Structure 1
Amino acid sequence: MPRKDTFVGRADELAVMGAELDRVRSGQPRVLWLSGPAGIGKTSLVRRLLGDRSDVCVLWGCGEESETGIPFGVLDQLVADVPDRLRGPLLGRGPTADADPLAVGAELLTVLGGLPDSGPVVIVVDDAQWVDDATARALVFVGRRLRRDQVLVVVAARDDTPPESAWWERGLTQDHLLHRVRLGGLAAEDIVELSGAVGGPALTPEAGRRLHDHTGGHPLHTTALLDELPAEALADTSRILPAPRSFAALVLVRVAKLSRAAQDMVVAAAVLGTRSALSDVVALARTPDPLTALDESVRAGLLDEVLTGTAHHVAFPHELVRAAVYADLPPARRHALHRAAAALLGGSAGMDHRVAAAIGPDPALAAELTALGRAEVRSRRWRQAADRFTAAADLSGDPEDRAARLVLAVGAMLAGGELARALRVEPDLRAGPATPGLGHALGQLEALTGRFDMARETLATALHTADGDPGGRAVATAHLALVSLIEGDAGPAAALTTQAMTPEPPPEVAALARFVQILGLAVQGRHGDADEELARRRAGADPAAAEEARALSGILALWADDAGRAAATLGSVGRDGAPPMSVQGRIMVLGHLGDAQYRLGDWDAAAANGALAVSLVRDAGVLLGAGVANALAAHVAAGRGAWDVAEERVATAAMAAELLPWWGARAHAATAQAVLAQARGDHAAMHDALQAYTDPAVHDPVDRIGVLPWRALRVEALLGLGRIDEADGALAELEERVAGRPPSWSAVEAARLRCEITELHAAPTVVRRAYERAMILAEDVPAELGRARLEIAFGRFLLAAGERRPAVDLLRTARARLDRLGARPFLDRCDELLKAAGLHPPTAGGALDLTPQELAVARLVAEGRTNQEAGAALFVTGRTVAFHLSNIYAKLGVSSRRELAAQLHRTGRSAGRS
């Protein structure tokens, strides 16, 4: 399996370290202290940082445990490639063991000053926990005397550095020089990428998360398991993953050295879980002297004692330690211990142990699991329900019972957004006996993966055979409605949803039916009926329906070109104790919220919400939302000139439209392609992208919904191609549609384009009046990009007319807007006009220089949210928020949440501001 130069993830850490290197370029010496456990990837990260920076001079030295007693051993490595002419007497011949470290440090300072000044000097001390004392003292001398030097000292050390080796850390790491980065494990999505990079199996997002949780994201352990386990073992969530063989061997050697009592305690803890109550472990192990056994296990590094208030627990220091012990148990002893654990714990806590202890079919236990799964469904805990139903199916002795429980499992998986997991069950469903609900499950799978002809036939058949099953009829009807909507039959779709919601359908089916009904009404142009239905739901007693109605109201507002109302409504969804929304629903909310913020000019929030929507699409494996989420998330990336990101998202949207060729996916993909071409100034590509709208199957439903931005893009493309008459006609259609609406994004775009067409044939006084009317219109519209482009166009016209002062004022205003947005391609065009006016635009550097993830965290924390609350909003842990927050404080030079909020406000980057 190829391993060389494999590197994935670490985007945030690289951004932080790159920012430190940029500070060094400006004459600010820095010390970057990189810490983490052994094998976590510190060396690879530093090499990645420096690998493609040809202007950087690198001095690299590495500590070695067996050489810590060799004076200046690491320093000799640091200066090995320094030309002899730059070395002083001590460094020239190599410092002797009794050389004064301060004198050696002074010569090293001279070396640093004599190196070529074409770029920064980076001193890397790898495995610093083993650096020799003499080298450490020389480096401390150097570090204390760095002032305006372009020098970055990178120290990579293990977390468990002995105290006696850490003295020089305190000496070198002065607060004004220091930035600490603690390197943790790879993220789940990075593990998915890593598997592909090293030639491993293609992991689903779910399998990546599971492997991440098991290894803590440790690259070496993860790679070992990718090498050792087949793909089916990595995907099977019903089994405990083992530890890597090399790691397990080390653990088992330690276990073997324990007394029998301590071994029994460690084994009992492994059966109970990663963390358990000490009393339960003692009861299961039946150890006569538990404190002595616990003390021995803790001293061996196999267990940790955890005291929290009055609670007394034991835990494994790492999940892999538990996995190694558990996997080594003989089957008979493992089953016996699980039976004993089930009796000890009882209730739902003992259920998993009963399942683990079962051998062969157990109809009674399968029935209990099915009942528990149904209870989880009623509570909308879909993943837990799917796990219960799957376990029940495995324990079913009768093939029909097994098939029926697999159908229930698939329903729960789909309701929870686990499409990839459900698809793995599809072959078993098709191979098993016919059972009630089978057609509904297969029809859902076919509908959600673009097999529309098959889905229509399967669901229609299921509908006719579900007379005695109201829930089954609702499932089949709702998904038939979805297929009809996707295929463009909005009328039948809306009618079918009425049938699906009578009588009371399962909650996940009701949510789908409600969505299809509103979208079906909108596609028919029945906006009043849709608004009335949404108002009725918001006032109803069902909190889930009310929350969905609020979300759909926001989406409809965006389609009606009311970005302000859309952002306010969608931004409030999911707050204030609202019921949980499905993954698919959350994707739609985040994607459209990001698009509303893009139009308003809150591009930082738009980028964060768009990225989150895309990540949820990837995690859930849903195809239906993939095109929409990626297309909407591409707009900000294109506007900021992040070409790689924008191209990837546009390509994903286009691929989704091919795989699932419904009119909505095609429309969103076409618009995203046109927005990317617009940012590049490529009018031909804009026009080509928008050819999708010449198909009535796309054009008609989009027009009935009322979405307008594509029309402005089309006018701009035609105008840029010199097809003036066609542009004029297309603009007249757009103007007719915006005439009956409040001023909006599309109205500002139409006004600018009308001015540019007027310039081609009218007198200057007429053109000026047109621009002045457009400027008055734009004053009432929060559409920062549109307003900036209008100001640029007017400024260009005034420059050509010889009115330099008002032209420059307009261009400066436009530039300030674009700078806040980070709209680099449009900013460059504005700067060209300013240069033509004889001005030199200000250099960049007023932005906060935060990554999108950091900015999202900063804004949430500035709103007053705790780390846990911010993590919940961004679908990350509180620990991840804390990691970002420490980097934010270091970058901005603040030390409190209040200072952070104040700085965001001053720079116009706080929530709701552009």
Structure 2
Amino acid sequence: MAPVTFVGRSGDLDELIRRTAATVSDGSAVVTVRGAPGIGKTALLRQVAATVPNSRWATAVPWESTVDGAVLSQLSPEPGAEQLARALAGDDPTLLVVDDAQHADSASLQALSTLIRHHRSLPVLLVLVTDGHPLPVPGLDGDELVMTGLDVREVAALASARGHVLPALMVDRLTRHTAGHPGHVRALLDELPAQTWSRLDAPLPAPREVVAQVERELAAAGDGGRALAFALAVLGEEATLSEAVLLAGIDDPLAAVAAATGAGLVRTGDPLEPRLRDPLAAAAVLDVCGVQATADAHRRAADVVTDPVARLRHRVAATPVPDEALADEVDALARSSGADGEWSRAAVLFRDAARLTAAPLLRDERLTRSVDALVAAGDCVGAAAMVPTVENLRETPLRNATLAYLAILRGRATEAEVRLRRAWDIVHIDRDTDTAAFIAQRHVLHALVHCQGEELVAWADRALALAERDSPAGIEAAAIRGLGLLASGQPRRAAAEYDDLHERVRHGAQAQRVVMGRGWVQLMRDDVEGARSSLESAVAAAGLGGSTRITLWSHAWLARTQFSLGEWDAALASVAHGRRLAETSGIVLVTPLLEWTAGQIAALRGDWETAHAAAHAAAGGGEYAMMRIPALLVRAQIAEAQADYATVRRVLEPLTTLAPGTSLQAGVLAVGRRPGQRDGAHR
């Protein structure tokens, strides 16, 4: 097994080091470090101790909890508080650590309490490390530092330190699955085959240690508690108590809830809404109960749940081999989900349909549609992981258009152009109008980020002529067409088109596209308050199943709007949200737009280091005009803030050839102005 690796926790580490140093002037102090077993408490204190020359360490164990002085003897060869005080006297700070202090003997803790209370001037920090159980001696708690799980960046660093470079989406899945618990993360990294981490749809089990613990808890819960826990694991996080009771076949639901809660399987809370304590417990329950029992339960669950999507997912989970009839049902639901803009759900359903399909060509098509839905959902990381698989499939117009879509969101204009042209060349427009409309809509997006207004409108009209009015391709083409009108010098027509479209598409995930486009046009037309309202609505729609890509654009343009209103801190908050979303999704297309706002505000505040970092991030090599224009503007505006006007002129020179003659170019430039009449707003 690889050695324990310490990552992250920089804030906690710095705080404990600071607290130790502060005892020189402030005197003795106590800090309790509390957290679940394996969360990294001991590793953190080892790091602190390594930086403090005068450190003493004791570890309590359960079988010595009644042995007087068992802990104190590890801190000082001479027992007693006074003897320890004499040993610690001096000018330099001392760190005393009692690990697993919940098991410490009372005599030792009483001596340490006496030491702290009677020798206030000693430069000593006493750190009691505990799993949350009460200490046998009250009054020694002091300040408390609660340790929680690692964040996504820290989990990625931990994986890298153990030899795994994980895709961002897999890091996010692993973090959520383990709640960032470093012990569980390390266990899964060590226990699972290396190929697991390259399969973004691979099921993540529980570590062996957790499975063993859950097996003991299931035995302790009795028949009713075990049956309830199994039902909750099969049904998932959204299960109702009535569904779980029906699936489990139990007669006394509240007794079963009490038993499962008492055993530690179910979280303490409302007994009418029982939930397993975490995803690892759910995975472990299924592992203990076995594959066959789980498949049988999924089959029965399909008759219990009422939601059609959930019912179908249970049937899929119970079917390990191809089933053409079921595959067709799943495919139909995937298309319906896509039509509603629920692309993340569509991606999973298309992938399930592909697995259940025996015919090679149809299976390839469904797999390709799954990747396209991932891109539409904004999960470029997940889609990119499947690119080798898709590239090895037979060439089709759909395959080329899907790969082009991914290339667009990754800022690769040349690749997108080649793939889109090839897709259009080989599609049979008369026989396969749906795919032709699909390709035309991808051309619409390609033209948008190239800032080619007239080209955009032409492709949007093709897509609208080929697609059904309420199809995904039709709605998205209509939602972007207004931006083409704006870019080709027709702002009033653009605004009117969005007003009409807003009346037609008012609800669901597809409405987010319309509202975002409307806000973009409002901002370009200097209707800043209207833009803020629209873009805030588009951002809020992310929680209702909206597209990651559209949410990213919304954050970026909302930040520009807030900047124009003088709300600089709010703008930076929008940038921060956008940056996190860009990192986890792998969409680089919007990064320059986000960094433009961040860099401009930093420059106007005189924070040159932050400004130049933003300019560097904006100049990430994207080929599209929509990426290059903000990258140039932020550099120019930094130079302007430094009164370096020669650099301003030189940096802005390429703008004369980017999207020449379009109002989109003029609008982007106009939005870059420094706030004028609104300068009195909060900054």
TM-score (norm 2): 0.81
Say if 1:490 and 1:521, in contact at 8 Å, map to a contact too: yes
The superposition leaves residues 668-691 of structure 1 with CA deviations (integer Å, 9 ceiling, x where unpaired) of 223445566778x6969x939963
Native 8 Å contact 1:39 1:219 kept in 2: yes
Separation in structure 2 between the aligned mates of residue 184 and residue 624 of structure 1, nearest angstrom: 34
Partner of 2:421: 457
Aligned match of 1:203: 167
Q: Are 1:782 and 2:551 matched, yes or no?
A: no
Partners of 2:462 and 2:549 lie apart in 1 by 22
Task: Report if the CA contact (8 A) 1:63-1:125 is conserved.
Answer: yes
Q: Is the 8 A contact 2:36 2:131 kept in 1?
A: yes
Q: Which amino acid aligns with 2:283?
A: A
Q: Distance in 1 between matches of 2:666 and 2:604?
A: 24
Equivalent-residue separation in structure 1 for 2:71 and 2:579 (angstroms): 46
Deviation at 1:188, TM superposition (A): 3.6
Please identify the structure whose Cα radius of gyration is greater: 1
1:501 matched residue in structure 2: 464
Q: 1:696 to 1:231 in 2, by over 3 A?
A: farther
C-alpha separation between the residues in 2 aligned to 1:229 and 1:643? Answer: 46
Which position in structure 2 is the counterpart of 1:582?
547
Q: Distance between the aligned counterparts of 2:33 and 2:497, measured in 1?
A: 57
In the alignment, is the contact (CA less than 8 A) between 1:74 and 1:135 conserved in 2?
yes
Cα distance in 2 for partners of 1:613, 1:594 equals 9
Aligned with 1:172 (options 140, 147, 169)? 140
What's the CA shift for 1:585?
2.0
CA 1:696 to 1:2, structure 2 compared with 1: closer, same or farther past 3 Å? farther
Aligned counterpart in structure 1 of residue 208 of structure 2, from 245, 249, 257? 245
Tell whether the 8 Å contact from 2:265 to 2:277 is kept in structure 1 after alignment: yes
**Displacement of 1:594:** 2.6
Change (3 A) 1:745 1:421: closer
How many residue pairs get aligned? The number is 677
Q: What is the CA distance between 1:629 and its match in structure 2?
A: 2.6
What fraction of aligned residue pairs are identical, expressed as a percent?
27
Asked if 1:404 corresponds to 2:173, the answer is no
- Report the CA distance between 1:41 and its aligned residue: 1.4
For the 8 Å contact 1:591–1:609, the answer to whether it is kept is: yes
Asked whether 1:383 is paired with 2:321, we answer no
Partner of 2:106: 133
Distance 1:5 1:264 in 2: 38
* Structure 1 residue 191 corresponds to structure 2 residue 155: yes
- Report Cα offsets for 1:715-748 as digits up to 9, x if no partner: xxxxxxxxxxxxxxxxxxxxxxx9xxxxx98478
Distance in 2, matches of 1:425 and 1:535, equals 39
CA contact (8 A) 1:664 1:698 kept: no
Alignment of 1:395-544 (within 5 A): 395-433=356-394, 437-449=398-410, 450=412, 451-461=415-425, 464-487=427-450, 489-502=452-465, 504-505=468-469, 508-510=472-474, 512-514=476-478, 516-537=480-501, 542=506
Aligned mates of 1:346, 1:552 — CA distance in 2: 36
- TM-superposed deviation, 1:418: 1.8
- 1: distance between equivalents of 2:582 and 2:515? 22
Q: TM-score w.r.t. structure 1 length? A: 0.63
Letter in structure 2 aligned against 1:304 = V
Contact residue 417 and residue 584 of structure 1 kept, 8 A: yes
Cα distance, 1:220 vs. partner? 1.0
Q: 2:538·2:551 contact (CA, 8 Å) conserved in 1?
A: no
Matched, 1:654 2:619: yes
Is the 8 Å Cα contact of residues 125 and 155 (structure 1) preserved in structure 2?
A: yes
User: 1:813-846 CA distances to partner (integer Å, 9 max, x unpaired)?
Assistant: xxxxxxxxxxxxxxxxxxxxxxxxxxxxxxxxxx
Shift of 1:18: 8.2
Q: Compare 444-453 and 605-614 and name the one that shifted more.
A: 444-453
Q: Does residue 632 of structure 1 match 2:590?
A: no
Contact kept? 1:525, 1:705, Cα under 8 Å: no
Q: Distance in 1 between matches of 2:188 and 2:505?
A: 50
Note the C-alpha offset of 1:219.
0.7
Could you tell me which residue of structure 1 aligns to residue 666 of structure 2?
A: 706
SS in 2 for 1:624: coil
| Aligned residue in 2 for 1:604 | 569
Query: Cα distance, 1:40 vs. partner?
Result: 0.5
Amino acid at match of 2:281: V
Task: Output the CA distance in 1 between the equivalents of 2:238 and 2:464.
Answer: 45
Once the two structures are TM-superposed, the CA of residue 642 in structure 1 deviates from its matched residue by 7.3
Q: Secondary structure at the match of 2:589?
A: coil
- Supply the AA of the counterpart residue of 1:6: F
| Aligned residue among 265, 281, 296 for 1:321 | 281
**Quick one: structure 1 residues 57 and 596, their matched pair in 2 at CA, closer, same or farther if it must change by over 3 Å?**
farther
Q: Which residue of 2 aligns with 1:904?
A: none
Structure 1, 413-422 or 249-258: larger mean CA deviation? 249-258
Higher relative contact order (CA 8 A, sep 6+): 2
Q: CA deviation at 1:391?
A: 0.7
CA deviation map 1:567-599 (0-9, x unaligned): 566446546999764222221222233344446
- Asked whether the equivalents of residues 692 and 698 of structure 1 are also in contact (C-alpha less than 8 Å), the reply is no
* Corresponding residue number in structure 1 for 2:33: 34
Deviation, structure 1 residue 141: 3.9
**Residue 668 (str. 1) matches residue 644 (str. 2):** no
Whether contact under 8 Å (1:460, 1:480) holds in the other structure is no
User: Which ranges of structure 1 fall in alignment gaps of 5 or more residues?
Assistant: 81-92, 710-737, 739-743, 749-777, 784-911
Residues 5, 161 of structure 2: 8 Å contact kept: no
Q: 1:624 to 1:746 in 2, by over 3 A?
A: closer
Distance 1:123 1:678 in 2: 55
* 251-260 vs 60-69, greater mean Cα deviation: 251-260
**Residue among 680, 691, 701 paired with 2:651:** 691
Residues 602-611 or 668-677, more deviating: 668-677
